[in-house]
Amino acid sequence: MQHVHILGVCGTFMGGVAAIAREAGFRVTGSDRNIYPPMSEQLARLGVELIEGYEAAQLTPAPDVVVVGNVMTRGMPVIEELLNRRIPYMSGPEWLSNTVLRNRVVIGVSGTHGKTTTTSLVAWILEHAGRKAGFLIGGVPADFEFSARLGNDPVFVIEADEYDTAFFDKRAKFLLYRPQTLIINNLEFDHADIYPDLAAITRQFHQLVRAIPGNGTLVVPGSDANIDALLKLGCWTPLQRFASSEGTAADWTASEEPPGTLRIRHRGTEVGHCDWQLSGAHNAENALAALLAAASVGVPPAVAIEAIGRFGGVRRRLQRIGDFGGVQLFDDFAHHPTAIRRTLEAVRRRAGVRRVIAVFEPRSNSMKLGVYKDTIAAALSGADLAWVLRPAGLRWDLDAEFRDAPQVHVCADTATIVRELAAAGQAGDAVVVMSNGDFQGIHGQLATALAAAR
């Protein structure tokens, strides 16, 4: 049995690679600096042996191949040992491409926002259609036991992000997947630690577009100026366009009418509708993009709409934690101004919501570098009240940004946020915690404080 050792195994992508390798019959071990749930629990259930830290000793005896995550850098003991001993190694995307994707029909889900939800929706639609597709999702979907699986269907669905591949390969990860069907949900500037500007990201996306076959499918929004500019650089694949409103170039539209009911239309004629657990225009677009991708591999729209109605959602994507003294508490991964704005809009449309309260941690590299310092206030203006944590390492003046926004409270620690919000909360409020990290466990603290205050 070939031994695969994975460095950085507790990341969502590398943890998914581990799950697929284990299902494919490899002996799988892995290491990470921080081993904690839920990924540690998932890997333990799969029989993956975990090693904490990046010491050189973990490579004795030498594995058959070492799969290197993009968190690894030169100077780490295990990396120096790997190179000095010339042990075979490759990146996670390269291993996946060579071992799994080469003989599969790949559906890639890309874009700045909505990738995890849309990838989960595509996988779930195929599951509902009786197709045991393979998938790798950058989150924890409610409808599957694990975030990745090998599957036995010809189709493999993958969340295709543009982050770089490894310390020895600076291509965007998605370039190694070679999808036949590609969704591009949207395109904005992000990952300022990797890319200098939107043009650099667009070049990576266009390399991906250039590799989509002429008999494949490209699923894109009906109105997105950045994607339109991308396609003008050259496109050789038939387009399917989607939107959440009429009056665009999209043949397919999806809207909530009324809230809680999703309606799908093709050229103005309703194709079907369903009650669903999601909300917001962005999720309507995610669902429609997933429907079109599934249709490209033979799933009828009626089957897809039924599946969307039964979709359980994704952990940390507008996940409802519970009701605490009449205050609803939600957890969301939003960390880009556009995602924040659309998340708040979606919450406001939910039944029974009187006020929307945002709790935000500016944690991403792009946010800390100040890329969004002039747009974050406008994004949070969709909340009636907001609390923002002042994190370490921020390179811009958070207080100055919100000087003219009296509804926004900037705090130095989570304890202050919890205390002030619990005192201000009222029945009918919806509190949305937004961060791309664990936010120092504030979710549980807020639940306890809100319940006690009521």
* Across 155-174, average pLDDT: 95
Task: Identify the three-state secondary structure at position 194.
Answer: coil
- Average pLDDT (26-49) is 87
Give the residue from 197, 443, 159 showing the smallest Cα distance to 286: 159
Identify the residue whose tokens are 């973990």: 58
**Pure H helices in 157-264:** 198-210, 225-232
Q: Which residue has the higher pLDDT, 235 or 312?
A: 235
Kind of pairing between the strands at 169-172 and 164-166: antiparallel
Asked if residue 165 lies in contact with residue 192, where contact means CB atoms within 8 angstroms, the answer is no
408-411/385-389 β-pairing: parallel
Looking at the DSSP assignment, which residues form a beta bridge with residue 253?
243, 265
For every residue of 327-338, DSSP letters joined together read EEEEEE---SHH
Residues in contact with 293: Cβ distance below 8 Å, sequence separation at least 6, in sequence order = 107, 109, 122, 157, 181, 183, 217, 219
pLDDT at res. 51: 95
Residue range 372-396, pLDDT digits in tens: 777 788 888 888 999 999 888 888 7
Question: What letter represents residue 263's amino acid?
Answer: R
Q: Find out whether 336 and 377 touch, Cβ atoms under 8 Å.
A: no
> Residues 286-332: pLDDT tens digits?
999 999 999 999 999 999 999 999 998 777 777 788 888 888 898 88
* H or E stretch at 392: none
Token pair of 94 as six digits = 């390269």
pLDDT over threshold 80, residue 148:
yes
Nearest-angstrom CA–CA distance, 156 and 131: 10
The pLDDT, as a whole number, for residue 68 is: 98
441 vs 82 pLDDT, higher one:
82
Rounded to the nearest 10°, the torsion over CA 8, 14, 16, 19 is: -60
pLDDT of residue 287: 95
The answer to whether residues 31 and 78 touch, using CB atoms and an 8 Å cutoff, is: yes
Q: Cα separation of 56 and 63, whole Å?
A: 12
CB 361 within 8 A of CB 389: yes
Q: What is the pLDDT of residues 267-277, one digit of tens each?
A: 999 999 999 88
Give the C-alpha separation, 206 to 94, whole Å.
Answer: 20
User: What percent of the chain is modeled with pLDDT above 70?
Assistant: 99
Residue 184 near residue 204, CB atoms below 8 Å: no
What three-state secondary structure class fits 403?
A: coil
Asked if 149 and 19 count as a contact pair (C-beta separation under 8 A), the reply is yes
With beta carbons less than 8 A apart as the criterion, state whether 112 and 286 touch: no
Where residue 243 falls among pLDDT bands split at 50, 70, 90? very high
Q: How far apart, in whole angstroms, are the C-alpha atoms of residue 303 and residue 36? A: 38
Give the count of alpha carbons within 13 A of 50, CB side only: 24
The pLDDT score that the predictor gives to residue 253 is 94
User: Residue 353: pLDDT band by 50, 70, 90 thresholds?
Assistant: confident
Q: Which domains does the chain have, with CATH numbers?
A: 3-94 (3.40.50.720), 100-309 (3.40.1190.10), 319-453 (3.90.190.20)
Edge-first strand order for the sheet with 217-221 is 148-149, 134-136, 155-159, 105-110, 181-184, 217-221, 239-243, 252-256, 261-266, 269-275
**Beta pairing partners, 89:** 66
The torsion angles phi and psi of 40, rounded to 5 degrees, stand at: -60, -40
- Token reading at 178: 């070679």
The owner of tokens 């904490």 is 52
**What is the token pair recorded at 407?**
């509804």
Determine what percent of the chain falls in helix, strand and coil, rounding each to the nearest 5. Answer: 35, 25, 40
Average pLDDT score over the chain: 90
